[in-house]
Each structure stands twice: as C-alpha cells, then as structure tokens.
Amino acid sequence: MKDALPVPGVVKYIASQLVYQTNGHLGNLDLSGADPWDLKADDHNITQGSNYHLMNLPSLERNRFLFRITMTPCGRKIDTCGSTLDFVAGIRDAIKAHQGLVDISILHGEISEENITLKDPTTDDDSHGMLIDFDCSVKSKGNVA
C-alpha cells in the first residue's frame, strides 16, 4: 500500500499495527499429513455412500495476518451520496485512481462499492472519490496494461 501513496484518489496510509496471526491459533497441532475427504459418490446417488478422493487443497497451515490500519481522509460510503453528480464524480475519481495504480504496476484486486468512498474536495485534493482496502492488491512486474 505504501507504493500507492503518490497516486491521487488513493487513501493515504498513516500507520499500521499487527493484531493477530493465524499460525498462532493452531498451537502444536500438525496438519501437514492430514488427508481431506470428499463425501460425494461417483454417480451422484447419495445412497451409494462415500468415496475417498485425493484432492489438491491449499495448505491448512497458511498464515494470515490481521492488521489495524490508520488512514486519511475519512470518507463516507458511496450509497450515501446526495446526488447523481456526487455519485458520478466519486466513481470517476476512483477510476482515475485505478488508472494511476495501473500506471505504477499495482492492481487493486477488489474494486467494489465497499472499496470506493466519497469525500469532500479540499484545496490540496479536489477529488470526490477514493479507493480503499488494498488487501487483494498486487505489485506487478512490468506493465499491467
């Protein structure tokens, strides 16, 4: 997210704090040798019982992180816009921000109504909409366009 700081229309990152890591809640439990079970029958008849299948599943030991992030400025949800003009201006600025990210080889990864916020323009920043939530973003090698 720090790579996206110079892009207009992207929320500004101030600070973060690691709250929790999922690898800590397994304790000493070792799931590396666990076999997954698929309980469907080959002929789709539920009375046939169940079959054991080897499946390719992601590792059960994947470590996830929960962070608390402080960002600025505060915005409001896009469904709270007061007029069609507010809505269109917010979407326009989010699209501009997305293009700015693509120009520096960052893909947001989750553009949705929850990740576009509206804000009041200021003398420093005249945008009406911002992109937030960079959990799914990736930095690409080379040109992404």
Chunked in runs of 10, what are the mean pLDDT values of the chain (145 residues)? 75 86 74 66 55 54 77 88 92 93 89 91 84 84 65
State the DSSP code for 124.
S
CA neighbours within 13 Å on the CB side: how many for 26?
13
In a domain, residue 10? The reply is yes
C-alpha span between 72 and 48 (Å, rounded): 58
Question: Measured between alpha carbons, how far is residue 27 from residues 21, 30, 31, 63, 109 in Å?
Answer: 12, 9, 11, 13, 32
Which stretch of DSSP H or E encloses residue 16?
strand 12-21
Give 3-state DSSP helix, strand, coil % of the chain, rounded to 5: 25, 20, 55
Q: Is residue 144 part of a domain?
A: no
- Give me the pLDDT at residue 11, please: 85
The answer to whether position 133 is within a domain reads yes
Task: Choose among 97, 128, 94, 89: nearest CA to 112.
Answer: 94
The CB density around residue 100, as the number of other CB atoms within 10 Å, is 17
Place of tokens 């576009």: 116
Q: What is the pLDDT of residue 15?
A: 86
β-strand pairing of 129-131 with 106-107: unpaired
Q: Is residue 145 part of a domain?
A: no
Number of residues that this document lists for the chain: 145
Domain encompassing residue 102: 2-139
Q: Which pLDDT value is given to residue 144?
A: 59
Domains: count for the chain:
1
Its pTM stands at: 0.64
